[in-house]
Amino acid sequence: MPIDPSKALGAPIQGGSFRWDRDRVILYHLGIGAGDPPTDPNELAYTYERNLKVLPSFGVIPAFGSLGGVGQVPGLQFNPALLLHGEQDLEIRKPIPVEGEVETRGKVAGIYDKGKAALVVLETETTLKGEAEPLFVNRFSLFLRGEGGFGGESGPPAGNEAPNRAPDGTVESKTLPQQALLYRLSGDKNPLHADPEFAKMGGFDRPILHGLCSFGVVCKAVVDHALGGDTGKVARYQARFAGVVFPGETIVTSFWREGNTILVAAQTKERGTPVITNAAITVRG
């Protein structure tokens, strides 16, 4: 099913409304591994409604439903079993409240030819009800295997390279064997993360962890260990998904401070394979 940029580029994608409360925030935090140890004051700040704070990576959740209509965009038909999440770019304009009601609108912002695959960038703006300025902006980069070769541009080069020196900090985050089953309750019901047979169709011998779950795990590691747990300091979080995590593995996050930017990379402890690369968190001044 060929990609036709002349039809798809700039096309609107399905938006919609979304409401969350403290329970929804806590469920998200549990889905990315918060709450261990359960009586730790910092973990309770993510998992107990008293003094609850919101990780900035939660900003992908209200906008995620906008991706549901991407398969209906003219000129953008593809096999969903061959879709991989390539990159995520999240701008946080204001700290995310523990409760909110928002509207999201989006468009196809970029289409690139990677040869054997197409890279499609979906940009969404999410605004609190009654306000004019976005609360956050997401750019979802979707890697559509088997859909390249249409002759388009290959896209910009990767940035946010980690420096060639020892990291300023390293954090180990152990995932649960059932982590993907827990995370999917935040809205991503792709069977790739639960159904062994569907995972085999996608080329994996068993279900894999959601890329956005790893995205949240790494965000929490940096917020807790480089930003003193201050979730409001994150103005932007960019990441490239470089490899898969199998539920139960340990994600090792390394970070380097460079002015108001924290460069980030993560890999699996058990296999030593990259998980997230070319990542950066911009610190709010």
Task: Decide the pairing of beta strands 136-145 and 83-92.
Answer: antiparallel
Partners of 61 in the β-ladder: none
Which residues are the active-site residues? Answer: 188, 193
Task: Encode burial over 35-71: b for 16+ CB neighbours within 10 A, e otherwise.
Answer: beeeeeeebbbbbeeeebbbbbbbbbbbbbbbbeebe
Which positions ≥6 away from 90 have C-beta within 8 Å?
A: 56, 57, 59, 60, 136, 137, 138, 139, 236, 237, 238
Query: CA 120, 27, 284, 65: dihedral to nearest 10 degrees?
Result: 30
* Whole-number Å distance between alpha carbons of 165 and 14: 44
- 194-203 long-range CB contacts below 8 Å, 24 or more apart? 198/81, 201/81, 202/81, 202/82
Q: State the first-to-last Cα distance of the chain, in angstroms, to the nearest integer.
A: 46
CA distance 254 to 281: 12
Sign of the four-CA dihedral 69, 70, 73, 77: negative
How crowded is residue 284: how many other Cβ atoms within 10 Å of its Cβ? 16
Spatial CA neighbour of 172 closest among 230, 241, 252, 53: 252
